[in-house]
Amino acid sequence: QKEVEQDPGPLSVPEGAIVSLNCTYSNSAFQYFMWYRQYSRKGPELLMYTYSSGNKEDGRFTAQVDKSSKYISLFIRDSQPSDSATYLCAMTGSGNTPLVFGKGTRLSVIA
């Protein structure tokens, strides 16, 4: 079993929908949880970062971490066509250890 599991999709939603993206993981040592967004033919860019359990909100985006269930989520409210991208979850146990990435979920928001 891979350390981080993420449904690759693709996921297609209408504009304005609420989008839920999820990852599960097996390594209980993970403490730092990230969501990266990657547009087609571009490098990933950091979207959200959460330390340990809890929620974090940034505009239309909310990241949730449930360490007891080893489950993280990214919610996108009022989704826009510009949100169409691949979303990758990533996590690590400490600040300087390499990230472990999920496979990424491809999202299309249809106008």
Partner 1 sequence: DAGITQSPRHKVTETGTPVTLRCHQTENHRYMYWYRQDPGHGLRLIHYSYGVKDTDKGEVSDGYSVSRSKTEDFLLTLESATSSQTSVYFCAISESKRSSYNEQFFGPGTRLTVL
- Name which position in 15, 39, 42, 69 contacts partner 1 (CB under 8 A): 42
| Residues within window 72-91 making contact with partner 1, judged by CB under 8 A | 88, 90
Bond preceding residue 8 cis, omega within 30 of 0 = no
Position 92 contacts partner 1 (CB under 8 A): yes
CA distance 85 to 55: 22
Region from 12-20, 45-53, 56-64, 75-83 binding partner 1, contact rule CB under 8 A: 45-53
CB of 35 to partner 1, least distance (A): 12
Cβ contacts of residue 40 below 8 Å, gap of 6+?
85, 86
